[in-house]
Amino acid sequence: MANKTITPTKHLLAKLSIKVRTDQYKDFESITKPTVRTKILDLGVTSDETLKDSNIFERLYRWPSRLTVATIEDAKKPNKLYPKVKIVKIISGKKLPFNNNAFDVVVSWATLEHVGGYKSQQDFINELLRIGKKVFITTPYRGALYEPHTGFFLLHWLPLKLFRQICKHTNNKFWSTEKNLNPLWISDLKKMKFRRNLNIKVYKTFNLLPSHIIISTK
């Protein structure tokens, strides 16, 4: 299980993250141009909202009745928090229970880094491309100064084998395995093969510091 200790620093960074994710939501609207008729799937919702930046999309999206949420976690709490949203329980690593092009848009916020190694990440994106006519995916950028899961500065720039050893011998053992955390450079994504051409760009917080990668359909 991941370390659940929430430090004052993490609470402060969660407040900053709300600003970042709200700005990314504006990017989502600009790129995908949703309307009241748009059918959307959000993949990777959490049942733990201890940190206030969790599930921002569900709070911001203006047409919740057109929104389906897929999660590997307990669906009871999201059901209570977002009663107009359809909740679907899925199994990690399995094909998603939706037909090809079932959704106009599929979104995934900071989940890609948790699905396993590069092959699993490639398969994850291709599965979203299978079920969605458009995709909008965000993931923390490995080139950022701060690694949000471990709380480390710069150490995630080291070779991943060494980074994981540091995680293993500190208070970050959960994040020491590839299946739980595999941060990405842009170059990692460019080596992958996708069903369709994608736009891949680095998002910069306050237009200054790179913090996330945004992946979307062209």
Taking only the tens of pLDDT, the chain with its 218 residues reads 455 556 666 667 777 888 899 999 999 999 999 999 999 999 988 887 776 778 999 999 999 999 999 999 887 777 788 999 999 999 988 899 999 999 999 999 999 999 999 999 999 999 999 999 999 999 999 999 999 999 999 999 999 999 999 999 999 999 999 999 999 999 999 999 999 999 999 999 988 999 999 999 99
CB 107 within 8 A of CB 135: yes
What is the layout of strands, in order, in the sheet containing 103-109?
86-89, 67-71, 40-43, 103-109, 132-140, 209-217, 198-205
Query: pLDDT tens-digit profile of 60-92?
Result: 999 999 999 999 988 777 778 899 999 999 998
Start-to-end CA distance of the chain, whole Å, equals 37
At residue 3, the pLDDT reads: 52
| Eight-class DSSP state of 185 | -
Domains defined for the chain, CATH in brackets? 8-145+183-217 (3.40.50.150)
CA distance 53 to 134: 24
**Considering the entire predicted model, what is its pTM?**
0.92
